[in-house]
Amino acid sequence: MKDNKGHIELEWWVFNAWYEANGFNKIVDPIKVIDSSIAKYLLLKVKRVLDNNGIPFLLVFGTLLGAYRDKKFIEWDRDIDIAFLKEDKEKVSQLIKEGQFALYGIEWIRDMDYLYSLAYRSEYIDLHFFEERSQAYISGGLDEYVIKKEQLDNPNSKIMFLGEEFNTVSCIEEYLKDQYGENWRTPIR
């Protein structure tokens, strides 16, 4: 299906069909454990495609929390999260349509205004697109995700994860506190 701008839209059922095919329920399986080897493959292949095409992105949310605090994926995290500026959405869309991710067996499973989801086997990665609004960058539908303006406008931090260097927000600990509260250092399942 195409939207009024001619972009291909994936229906909600594509994501749910992928979930069912991979043994999950239609919402989120509360006992799902991330398969670190599959998640690593997915993140590193997505990184390769984006880096080769000069599209900057940042590790965010639970992926950054795991990388920074635990030096690994959080076992009970349900996905991988990376962030882009909204202005790069069309470039990412073009890579998907050209099949650059598909070369690695990575499927496009969700297309929403504020994010795409790509999947490989039992794991998926959300590509969040943030747009600037007053003092913050915002992404999301009903649940808005916020990154403070100074955490994106200042030079980004770099973090080693999975043997590779990734860009992320500046002031990582402040960002993690904003996202997960004062006790972000304590793993909570």
Q: Looking up tokens 């959300």, which residue turns up?
A: 126
**Model confidence pLDDT, tens digit, residues 24-39:** 444 445 567 899 999 9
Q: How many residues does the chain have?
A: 189
| Mean pLDDT, all residues of the chain | 87
Q: Does 160 score more than 80 pLDDT?
A: yes
- Count of C-beta atoms within a 10 Å radius of residue 55: 15
| Ranges 19-28, 147-156, 161-170, most confident | 161-170
Residue-wise DSSP of 139-153 = E-SSS-EEEEHHHHH
Q: Does 136 score more than 80 pLDDT?
A: yes
Higher pLDDT, 129 or 26: 129
Global pTM? 0.86
User: Residue 23, by phi and psi: left (phi above 0), alpha (psi -120 to 50) or beta?
Assistant: left
Strand runs labelled E in 43-181: 58-59, 80-85, 107-111, 115-120, 123-133, 136-139, 145-148, 157-161, 164-168
Domains and CATH numbers, the chain: 32-180 (3.30.460.40)
